[in-house]
Amino acid sequence: MTIKDIAAKCGVSVSTVSRVLNNQPYVKQDVREKVLKVIEEEHFVPHEGAASLARTQEDSIGVVIRGIKNPFFNEMVSTILKRAHELGYNTYLQQIRVGEDEIAEAASLAKSHKLKGVILLGGNFDRTPEEMKQIDVPVVCCTFSNIFGGVSSKDFSSVCIDDEDTAYKAVTYLASQGHKKIAIVLPSVEDKSISELRYKGYCKAMEKSGLDVYDDLIISTGDYSMEAAYSGVKEAVENGADFTAAFGISDLIALATMKALSDCGKKIPEDVSVVGIDGIDMTSYFIPTLTTLVQPRDLMANRAVEIIAQIIEGEENGVHEIVDAELRIGESVRIL
Amino acid sequence: MTIKDIAAKCGVSVSTVSRVLNNQPYVKQDVREKVLKVIEEEHFVPHEGAASLARTQEDSIGVVIRGIKNPFFNEMVSTILKRAHELGYNTYLQQIRVGEDEIAEAASLAKSHKLKGVILLGGNFDRTPEEMKQIDVPVVCCTFSNIFGGVSSKDFSSVCIDDEDTAYKAVTYLASQGHKKIAIVLPSVEDKSISELRYKGYCKAMEKSGLDVYDDLIISTGDYSMEAAYSGVKEAVENGADFTAAFGISDLIALATMKALSDCGKKIPEDVSVVGIDGIDMTSYFIPTLTTLVQPRDLMANRAVEIIAQIIEGEENGVHEIVDAELRIGESVRIL
């Protein structure tokens, strides 16, 4: 009697038996009981290494990482791999550039490796149902949600912050420190993605704080790179843009904003205050340390794996979890 | 007649036929001629997609990335994936923490995915022949070389900078700017790894420049993390260590050194000058921009793939290439 025989007798996968044997979560209670009953009836003694054997032969999940140079994602990958391993899943990593097609990549990975599910670490917010259908296994969007594409919320899962609300908090914090002329540095005000959502949060916060949004304050730089943010801010300041605080919609953009301001002879925070969103490790070593809204990276990484495991084990798709970003006060903001 | 039939007739792998069809390098001239001859004789017309089909079924290489949070490696992964794809290889990525065993991981990856070769992106310099033997396919060490472990240089390949010489250049540059009290910030003076080699380069440069090395100037911080470097430098300065310049043996260590100095009230470069090694993108956005010796990342990534491909195609193992790091002048060094 092997683990395979037990699996066959129960009508479940070897991985499921392995998870029951190892007391791991994400096995439905009735399945768990059935497996334990058969194990008892058959006087089955698991062979050492059976669990790991099962892992190399079965149930794999794919992780498609979008944005090669994004330290934010890199810091999450190890947590995803660790949690997947704990839950008995094999993992396949794929790294793609921001411009590349994460859906096509995930679909091909799922096919070639017979994956049971895919975690998209970063991706587009506006994929259509037709596009999403290319991936024929469950998908969990991690750090974002496909909210612009018209895909039914039951057909995918997600775990992420509320982008609009987080931007709202960042800008409200600057206003609470006395700033009135608050600029936003962002790729685009309308990209059906993070940038558009955080722009909405900025506008809402400005309005609620009774502050005017005028053209000079909106520094659209075209893309998410540090290079673009640096050039955009430098040009704006050289053209006379007048603000005492800047909200960079990501840490990388906020750091590039600080550098551009510094190169224009502005001191941070004496002349201009800066806030970001993300909480990447490097921000703590900048001079000055960046004040930022910290995304709960480990929580999102763990939940993404747990949600995909749940769905693979038969729970319903359509799990959407919003997590909180927390303000970490650095040295980049001063009271005006 | 399929690509498989051609391969069988030539006594080569489907991947090799695919590479010949796609005019890719790393096929020996006699093999290429033989394949082309059979293709002509058989009037073989390659089926569209045959090359990609061959890729998903054959010849895979593994990439084990050591150091999850090291932007230096992350910036190289995409180049490795791209070059491998161009040469017709499938890739399997594995990411491990610095403390984990890259050899065991590579060995297990090679077995479970029937890899033809492995690239180690970062690793220990002192693996013994017995340890290395766990991996039963060719290995290319990328960004380092296994020089302390007693493994015959014919039994593995490598592409990396000369650590001792690069450190020598960094310190000689500081000396050329008039600095005499030059500190080194490093994990350990004796770790049979990068740290020990760069320490040797530091000592050699100090000696050649006629400068004294005394205890206060050697800031050993225990590990490669920014946290350790930050605490180590802060403690040294608080205990009265007296230097006008510091050589951080990696960019991350140099950046943490700048932050620690700044938090001790020292201005960079007015009070202390700082130099690093690596050239990670983020260094250009620090205030001040870090002066550093830039490793040719793309070159190393491309060469690692090309060397492993060569060996898989039958060339001899034992290729060891030393590449040059180039000084990039930033704003972190002043003339004394």
- pLDDT tens digit string along A174-185? 999 999 999 999
What confidence score (pLDDT) does residue B334 get? 98
Q: Could B71 and A71 be called an inter-chain contact, meaning their C-beta atoms sit closer than 8 Å?
A: yes
Which of the four pLDDT bands, split at 50, 70 and 90, describes residue B55? very low
Element at B261 (helix H, strand E): helix B251-263
Yes or no: domain B163-294 corresponds to CATH 3.40.50.2030: no
Place of tokens 């205990």: B239
Rounded Cα distance between B177 and B45, Å, is 65
Mean pLDDT of B25-49: 74
Residue B308 near residue B156, CB atoms below 8 Å? no
Find the mean pLDDT for residues B93-108.
88
* Banded pLDDT at A9 (limits 50, 70, 90): confident
pLDDT of residue A243 exceeding 50: yes
Nearest CA-CA distance, residue A121 and chain B, Å: 15
DSSP per-residue codes, A171-217? HHHHHHTT--SEEEEES-S-SSSHHHHHHHHHHHHHHHTT----GGG
The pLDDT value given to residue A30: 84
Which of A152-176 are b and which e, b meaning 16 or more Cβ less than 10 Å from the residue's Cβ? eeeebbbbbbbbbbbbbbbbbbbbe
Q: How many CA atoms lie within 13 A of B276 on its CB side?
A: 29
Location of each CATH 3.40.50.2300 domain in chain A: 59-162+296-324, 163-295
Q: How many residue contacts between A and B have a Cβ separation below 8 Å?
A: 69
Provide the CATH number for the domain formed by A3-54 in this structure. Answer: 1.10.260.40
A46-82 pLDDT per residue, tens = 654 444 444 445 689 999 998 777 788 887 988 998 8
Interface test with B, best of A98, A185, A255, A285 (most B CBs within 10 A): A285
Smallest Cβ–Cβ distance between B74 and the set A68, A93, A287 belongs to: A68
Give the whole-angstrom CA distance, residue B211 versus residue B172: 11
Give the model's pLDDT for residue B133.
94
Q: Which of B77, B95, B262 sits opposite A68 (nearest CB)?
A: B77
- Residue B268: closest C-alpha in chain A: A287
Residue of A92, A95, A230 lying closest to B77 (CB–CB): A95
- For residue A97, list chain B residues with Cβ-Cβ distance below 8 A: 78
Burial class (CB in 10 A: 0-12, 13-18, 19+), A227: middle
Cβ density class A94-129: b for 16+ within 10 Å, e for less: bbbebeebbbebbbbbbeebebbbbbbbbbbbbbee
Residues from chain A contacting residue B77 (CB–CB below 8 Å): 68, 95
Distance from CA of B42 to the nearest CA of A (A): 30
- CB contacts of A286 in chain B (<8 Å) are 259, 286-287
Q: Could you tell me the pLDDT band of residue A45, with boundaries at 50, 70 and 90?
A: low
Task: Write the CATH number of the domain with boundaries A59-162+296-324.
Answer: 3.40.50.2300
- Per mean pLDDT, which range of A218-222, A232-236, B144-148 is the poorest? B144-148
State what percent of residues in chain B have pLDDT above 70.
96
CATH 3.40.50.2300, chain B: domain bounds: 59-162+296-325, 163-294
Per-residue confidence band for B50, with pLDDT thresholds at 50, 70 and 90: very low
- CATH match of A163-295 with 3.10.450.350: no
C-alpha–C-alpha distance, residues A55 and B240, integer Å = 55
Q: Take residue A324 and report the two structure tokens written for it.
A: 């909180």
Numbered residues of chain A with Cβ closer than 8 Å to any chain B Cβ: 56, 68-69, 71, 74-75, 77-78, 81, 92-95, 97, 112, 226, 230, 255-256, 258-259, 262, 281-282, 284-287
CA distances in angstroms from A2 to A14, A17, B86, listed in the order given:
10, 11, 43
For residue B56, name the pLDDT band (cuts at 50, 70, 90). very low
Average the pLDDT over A173-199 and give the result.
96
Using alpha carbons, select from A144, A174, A192 the residue that is nearest to residue A327: A174
Given this model, what pLDDT does residue B46 score? 62
User: What pairs with residue B184 in β-bridges?
Assistant: B218, B247
Nearest CA distance, A68 vs chain B (angstrom): 7
The share of chain B scoring above pLDDT 90, in percent, equals 70
Supply the mean pLDDT for chain B: 91
Chain A residues with CB-CB distance to B256 below 8 A: 285
Furthest-apart CA atoms within chain B: distance in Å = 80
pLDDT (0 to 100) of residue B35:
84
CATH of span B59-162+296-325: 3.40.50.2300
Give the three-state DSSP class for A27. coil
Average pLDDT over residues A99-124: 92
pLDDT tens figures, A272-326: 999 999 999 999 999 999 999 999 999 999 999 999 999 999 999 999 999 999 9
DSSP H/E element including A278: strand A273-278
Q: How confident is the model at residue A16 (pLDDT cuts 50, 70, 90)?
A: confident
Judged against a pLDDT cut of 90, whether residue B15 lies above it is answered with: no
